[in-house]
Amino acid sequence: MLDCEDRRPAGEKGHWRGFGAGIEVDVGWLCRAEKQQATTMEMAMRRSRTILAMMAMMLVVSACGNGEEPADPAEPDEDTEEAPEEDPETDDDPEEASLTIGFSQVTQASPFYVDLGQGAQDAAEELGHDMIFLDADGDETTQNNDVADLITQGVDALIINPVDPEAVAPALRDAEAAGIPVITVDRPVEGEGVVAHVGRDNVEMGRVVGEALAERLDDGAKVIEIQGDAGGIVMRDRRDGFNEALETAGDFEMVEGPYAEYIRAEAVTAMQDLLEAHPDVDAVYAHNDDMAMGALQVLQDAGNDEALVAGVDGLMEALEAMDEGDQYVATALNDPVYLGQLTVDAAVAAAQGEDVPEEIDAGTQAVTPENVAEFVGDTTFGAYEPEMDF
């Protein structure tokens, strides 16, 4: 900025030659320009301060008009929701965590096994857990491969209904080595590697059916037995319980029929041959109701309405035949849906580190024409759900 008082040489009133040869500068104009610029800047600053002051006044008036005091920036807004604090105990609680349960089913060829699998899947979903369900289709190799796959996927618990209790032993050892608790259902596995077995007393089921049938037979009656699967534990137990009851009750002629694998179509074929060989049959006992209904069909098709029929499992179709007719006279309840639910309960408890009984018996009850009306309903099998605490 020019010094308008000191830089002009004495004797010069309006011009100063000091900016170069031949250049004259009007020093007075420069001084006036500088003063005007300074004045303009000062006025602008004053206007800015005035505008800011007016805006502040408007904010205060606005706040007062709404009945509110200006917010203190140091204090939090009461309307602002604070993020909820995580509860480490809840987040880390193993009982609250979702589990993945693997289920290797022996087959889906029987309505009993279909309901067993569905009952387990529904129970897992209701408890908030996931289930990987695999069907071995009656093949030992397939089941072992399925179990190996479930172990690889890192399931928290493993449910197995074995095709062959001995053939599945290597898979059980692998699961045990991986720290995965194994629960067997319906068909038990003898030996190590299993935390618990959930099922029913098949000897007892065979026994109560045998007692109910024997009450309706005369001594010397001929009884055909259609069996389940060769070498199966369930087959063995239902056979032994039934035969023990008949041996205790009287003197009967037993005809050992073939293995029909618990499948009605195979039982129909077997019964056709048996009826041709033993037209004087007095009663037929099959190791499940599905096969027994196949036998009843063959008898009725042949015009035989005298021979009595009995089975096991409480299949609703058999209960209805008992309720409406005279030939089907006994079965034992074996509710597969409830069995599946109990099995999932045991698997979850084991996965969460709880103590689980080695044997969990879901119970049974004989059904005869005298009490069948209590169990007829719209389910596939008669419901039987005794309270269990384990």
The answer to whether position 32 is within a domain reads: no
Count of domains observed in the chain: 2
Tell me: the pLDDT tens digits for 110-165? Answer: 899 999 999 999 999 999 999 999 999 999 999 999 999 999 999 999 999 999 98
- 3-state SS string for 246-311: HHHHCCCEEEEEEECCCCHHHHHHHHHHHHHHCCCCCEEEECCHHHHHHHHHHHHHCCCCCCEEEC
Residues 191 and 220 in one domain: no
Q: How confident is the model at residue 344 (pLDDT cuts 50, 70, 90)?
A: very high
189 and 134 in one domain?
A: yes
Last residue of a domain, one of 318, 333, 348: 333
Portion of the chain with pLDDT greater than 90, in percent: 70
Position 71 in a domain = no
Q: Provide the phi-psi class of 128: left if phi over 0, else alpha when psi is between -120 and 50, else beta.
A: left
Residue 316 has pLDDT above 90, yes or no: yes
Query: What are the helix (H) ranges across the chain?
Result: 27-65, 88-91, 111-126, 140-152, 169-177, 202-214, 233-249, 264-277, 289-301, 316-324, 336-351
Asked if residue 114 belongs to a domain, the reply is yes
Domain residues for the domain of 276 are 202-333
Is residue 91 one of the residues assigned to a domain? Answer: no
pTM score:
0.73
Are 187 and 252 in a shared domain?
A: no
Q: Rounded distance, CA 214 to CA 147, Å? A: 43
Q: Report the range of poorest mean pLDDT among 33-37, 201-205, 210-214.
A: 33-37
Average pLDDT over residues 289-302: 98
SS3 328: strand
